Amino acid sequence: MVFASLEFLIFFLPAFVLIYSLSPAGWRNPVLLIGSWFFYGWLSPMFLLLHIVLTAIAWLGGLWIDRLPEQRRTRVRVLAALILLNVLVLCWYKYANMVAGQISDLLMGMGAMPLEWQHIALPAGLSFIVLQAISYMVDVHRHVVPVERSFVAYATYLSMFGHSIAGPIIRYNWVREELAQRRVTWTNFALGARRFMIGMSMKVLVADSLAPLADTAFALDQPSFVDAWIGCLAYSMQLFFDFAGYSAMAIGIGLMLGFHFPENFNRPYLARSIQDFWRRWHLSLSSWIRDYLYIPMGGNRNGEWITYRNLFLTMAIAGLWHGGDSWNFLLWGGLHGLALCAARAWDQAGLRPMPSLPAHALTLLFVALAWTLFRAPDLASALSMYAGQFGLHSFGLGDALAVTLRPAHGVAAMLGVVCVILPIWQTRAEARWSNDRWFLTLGATWPVFGFLLSFALIASRETVPFLYFQF
């Protein structure tokens, strides 16, 4: 059951919201917790069991850390052991299949029988749940937040179905007060529903419509120049609208339930540098790796070379967090780490900033080329796509992509470009027409129209999962 599915839209969400809104304030955490566990159990009963176990470990770990004296090294050792346990669980589910496959290939190369191995499925949302559990225990250790003594309240925080599957990565401190007391109002419900409908339109109308182009292009053995760039650009738009659409839906659901989650994207494809891109893309992950990886490693406090090392390692670890099927994600993170190092070296050398237009174009070019490595199933496929992008194969549109192309893909691409560029004029338009009836009517009706069209598309085809479910 995913957000963009009939069972969620017709059955689960309406029934849950009705029960939740009718519940007394003191019962809303238990109702949200039970509803979230039902949501996870629908996805996989085994994942629900794992989720409850990890929740209990993090909750008990926070209580344990809080009871230990501040001065003793035992406190740090307990925290390190709990973090290591969470990381090992995540690594098992992400990398066991790949390591087993490489061992099997090695055995076959030596003339032995291949390793007998049953594929391990990655539980949806495990990566995000682990990061939230780690941030909570670290914040308890740092006295950023008081320890949560109610298991129900903590489990509700870690289990909220709206955001735990694919983000944003919510820190306990951001929702601590609303876990204790929140109001469910018609205004927040209406605003949350509008945000949910906008996210649904981003996912279904743009991301899902561009998915066939990306899938076809990245499946080609020797893509042409046109094939490779159509696939790369289609995937760049698909990934943004898929992930930003999920984040908008999660923020909308949170608002309907009385929670105010932070934004997860801030117009990333308008960035003018790689640093600016990471200040705009997946904000909850960017701030997490800054506060719980980069700064604890030393940040920029111990000289330039240590700073460059920390930048590179932080982004490489972020790549590993995404990975599982291949080492491409590690290489993707390393590329972004090198780009951040190069940008810092440029600034430290006192060189003049690039003009806005070429800076924007160069940033988008680098991001798109890096997305090729992110999307390709393995390194060989990525290298083949790069060869096509640099014109080392043929030039014209290939037969496979020509058959796949439809007018709807062009409409989706244009809609995506408009949605990326539209914020440039948004503030100016609001200042000029914010009091006009037609402007207010348009702002209220277009999300409903987009949602109804999205619903019709969902009803007419199989459910398309969110891309970040695999991470």
Q: How confident is the model at residue 387 (pLDDT cuts 50, 70, 90)?
A: very high
pLDDT in tens, 47-81: 889 999 999 999 999 999 999 988 778 999 999 99
pTM of the model: 0.91
pLDDT in tens, 82-140: 999 999 999 999 888 888 888 888 888 887 777 788 888 888 788 899 999 999 999 99
Alpha-carbon torsion, ordered 197, 43, 122, 158, to 10 deg: 70
Separation of first and last alpha carbons in the chain:
17
Share of the chain above pLDDT 70, in %: 94
Question: What pLDDT is attached to residue 431?
Answer: 61
Whether the bond into 168 is cis, omega within 30 of 0? yes
Tokens matching residue 438: 């037609």
Question: What pLDDT is attached to residue 443?
Answer: 59
Mean predicted lDDT score pLDDT of the chain: 88
Could you tell me the residue ranges of all domains in the chain? 6-181, 189-470
Share of the chain above pLDDT 90, in %: 57
Query: Which residues form the catalytic set?
Result: 322
Tokens matching residue 126: 């495990």
Q: How confident is the model at residue 40 (pLDDT cuts 50, 70, 90)?
A: confident
Q: Which helix (H) or strand (E) holds 88?
A: helix 73-109
Contacts of 305 (CB under 8 A, 6+ apart): none
For residues 315 and 335, what is the distance between their CA atoms, to the nearest angstrom? 8
Tokens matching residue 163: 């955001």
Question: What pLDDT is attached to residue 135?
Answer: 96
